[in-house]
Amino acid sequence: MDDFFTTHVGLRRGTSAECQSGPAYYGPSAVTMVALNLLGAPAWVIAATQKLERLAMLPSGWDSYGGRPLKQSARESTLKAISWLQQEELPIPAVVLGSKGTVQLEWHSGSKELDVDLGEGEDIGFVKCDDEGEPLEGRTGQGPEELRRLTRWLVTR
Amino acid sequence: MSQDATNRLQPRPLPGFDCPPLDEMVIVIQFEPLKQFSAAHMGLFWQKVRERYPLTEDNPPLLHQVELSEPTPGAGATIMRVPLALRCWFLSQDRTELVQIQRDQFIRNWRRIEGNEEYPRYETLIAAFKREWREFMAFVAEEKLGEVKIDQCELSYINQIPKGEGWESFADIGGVFRGLRPADPNGLLNSPEAIGWNGQYKLPDELGRFYAELSPGFRGRDFKFVLSMTLKSRGKPAGPSEDNLFAWFDLAHEWIVRGFDELTDPNMHAVWKRRP
């Protein structure tokens, strides 16, 4: 028995075998990847990365109260978070620089609001609120699944 | 014969760069699947190379891709077959070099991990690849796994040019890549949100294709904003001999080096320290 599925890339018509084979098996032979490709990226990804790059240019004391410049760890954590979420359909977040050089991503969707704090320690702080109850504050591990769980709460009606 | 024609016939020296923006180089040989090749054989082969590659990782297999000389009507130009077996990585201690094997592919990568590693050069890397390919061929013969019938080879160079090294915004991209200058610097389209480019060229004598791809993004290693330029030659050697095989890689390398030289701007050549 042939243990290969065959798929014709570029064909519009397909068979069930082609559908099963799908992109899950696809991986490039190169191992060093650009983690976040801006070409064709959703609007929120481009807007958030551009805002972050602008924040990275702010000097010490940017808020007139001794605010620290963007921490490298916060910049990397934020870009990692965006790269993990880049396939998600999300509204454009506000990207806010904290006085300690950390970053907060703030999303609003309908009556829901999600704030995610990045760059302060190993894990991620978050605040969720909607019009049905008290704001829920917490911390979660820094990983794609944890973040997706949060953003899916945001967009679920 | 005209002077132009004479010049074209004379072999031109290959340009060199002392500080190329190269992040990874990949050498691939793809062959018809070895039906008897199992996970156990991956372990057996690892024993042979373990001293050089003490670390391992399991990964999903790569697709079996075959470059067609002509596109099929109404379809893309690539046929892919998806194997159900694993792909194993054998990595050097510093993770800059790795060998990837699966039942239909043998791959060797060199990559920058910290960012300051010196590119060992094509001659060094292809010589190491040749040694290890021979080891793999000897292993296949020893284990009676069947004949290795090569159906495709690939050589890829992944260059990454960070923001601040010759460009600050997409409006400057014409200073990095020839041909991407805006027609009117004061025009409507002088400041793109993002910009990319793809080119595809036929190698001579039906030996495959050369691909160039440019895309902006954030590099996974350090999340620096980069222009990623992947140059790839893919095709099939002229014959089954080892000489044919490595002549193909030399041609693939020549196209990548000349392609890089032709696609990029002389101002950037100074940054990358081009040797005449």
Of B26, B72, B195, the CB nearest to A29: B26
Among chain B residues, CA nearest to A82: B218
Of A6, A8, A30, the CB nearest to B75: A8
pLDDT value for B64: 86
Q: Do A32 and B112 touch (CB under 8 A)?
A: yes
Mean pLDDT of B136-157: 97
Amino acid letter, residue A149: R
Lowest mean pLDDT among A20-24, A54-58, B11-15: A20-24
**Model confidence band, residue A34 (pLDDT cutoffs 50, 70, 90):** confident
A to B CB pairs, distance under 8 Å:
125
CB B263 within 8 Å of CB B178 = yes
Contacts 24+ apart (CB under 8 A), A112-121: A112/A153, A112/A154, A114/A150, A114/A151, A114/A153, A114/A154, A116/A81, A116/A147, A116/A150, A118/A74, A118/A77, A118/A78, A118/A81, A119/A71, A119/A73, A119/A74, A119/A75, A119/A77, A119/A78, A120/A74
Of B63, B215, B218, the CB nearest to A25: B63
Please determine, for residue B37, whether its predicted confidence score (pLDDT) is greater than 70.
yes
pLDDT in tens, B20-32: 999 999 999 999 9
Question: Which residues on A lie below 8 Å from B82 (Cβ)?
Answer: 4-7, 21, 25
Question: Which residues on B lie below 8 Å from A34 (Cβ)?
Answer: 160, 215, 217-220, 226, 228
Lowest mean pLDDT among A12-26, A77-91, B162-176, B243-257: A12-26
Please determine, for residue A4, whether its predicted confidence score (pLDDT) is greater than 50.
no
pLDDT value for B43: 96
ipTM comes to: 0.73
Q: Which of B218, B221, B225, B231 to mutate to test the interface with A (most CBs of A within 10 A)?
A: B218
pLDDT value for A19: 29
Please determine, for residue B39, whether its predicted confidence score (pLDDT) is greater than 70.
yes
Query: What is chain B's length?
Result: 276
**Model confidence band, residue B74 (pLDDT cutoffs 50, 70, 90):** very low
Among chain A residues, CA nearest to B80: A7
pLDDT value for B2: 52
pLDDT value for B75: 44
**pLDDT, averaged across chain B:** 89
Mean pLDDT of B117-131: 97
Q: Do B215 and A37 touch (CB under 8 A)?
A: yes
Of B64, B72, B218, the CB nearest to A79: B218
Using a cut of 0.80, tell me whether the model's pTM lies above it.
yes
Q: Do A37 and B228 touch (CB under 8 A)?
A: yes
Question: Which residues on B lie below 8 Å from A21 (Cβ)?
Answer: 80, 82
